[in-house]
């Protein structure tokens, strides 16, 4: 492998691991330290704007319905989400964030906003365009190579 390939490999691995670790540490010093990163990402997938069906959330996270049910059970117990059955079809379950869940959602969004802003700070338009193009190519590669559905 060339030096460039080795450096890029190390950077990608480090960035991926560091982001997950930073997210966990970020929430460790908030009132929401009882959440795992997986639970935070589940909250993000639910969203704050309208209740979502379980199947929509499971599809968005690319997890099984059973895995999501377990996660939702934990989040209900921790009072971050509530379940509501459809009045029309009682088999349909809607998930909605509580006030506490919505706050976590906003804090997590701010974490990502700050991270991205810091990543592009100081780049000129050409550098930003190259960064976007490179990340899109990498993203497309992973989705096609590992058969990940496009969200």
**For the segment 24-75, what is each residue's pLDDT rounded down to a tens digit?**
888 888 889 899 999 999 999 999 999 999 999 999 998 999 999 999 999 9
Cα 12–115–61 angle (5° rounding)?
A: 70
What mean pLDDT value characterizes the chain? 91
Which domains are seen in the chain, by residue range? Answer: 3-120 (1.10.10.10)
Residue 104 CA to residue 83 CA, distance in Å, equals: 18
Kindly compute the dihedral angle of the four CA atoms of residues 10, 13, 19, 24, in this order, to the nearest 10 degrees. -120
Classify residue 93 by burial, with Cβ atoms within 10 Å: 0-12, 13-18, 19+.
Answer: middle
Residue 76: name the closest of 55, 56, 88, 93 by CA. Answer: 93
Determine the pLDDT at residue 1.
62
What's the average model confidence in pLDDT over 110-133?
94
Sorting pLDDT into bands at 50, 70 and 90, what band is 148?
A: low
Residue 22 CA to residue 88 CA, distance in Å, equals: 43
Sorting pLDDT into bands at 50, 70 and 90, what band is 108?
A: very high
pLDDT above 90: residue 97 = yes
What's the average model confidence in pLDDT over 104-122?
94
């Amino acid at each position: 492998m060339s030096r460039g390939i080795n450096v890029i490999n190390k950077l990608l691995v480090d960035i991926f691991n560091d982001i997950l670790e930073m997210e966990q540490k970020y929430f460790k010093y908030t009132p929401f330290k009882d959440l795992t990163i997986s639970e935070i990402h589940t909250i993000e997938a639910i969203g704050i704007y309208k209740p979502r069906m379980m199947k929509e959330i499971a599809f968005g996270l690319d997890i099984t319905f059973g895995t999501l049910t377990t996660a939702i059970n934990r989040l209900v117990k921790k009072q971050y989400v509530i379940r509501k059955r459809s009045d029309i079809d009682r088999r349909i379950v809607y998930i909605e964030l509580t006030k506490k869940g919505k706050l976590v959602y906003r804090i997590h969004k701010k974490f990502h906003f700050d991270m991205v802003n810091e990543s592009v700070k100081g780049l000129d338009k050409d550098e930003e365009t190259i960064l976007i193009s490179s990340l899109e190519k990498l993203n497309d590669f992973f989705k096609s190579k590992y058969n990940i559905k496009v969200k």
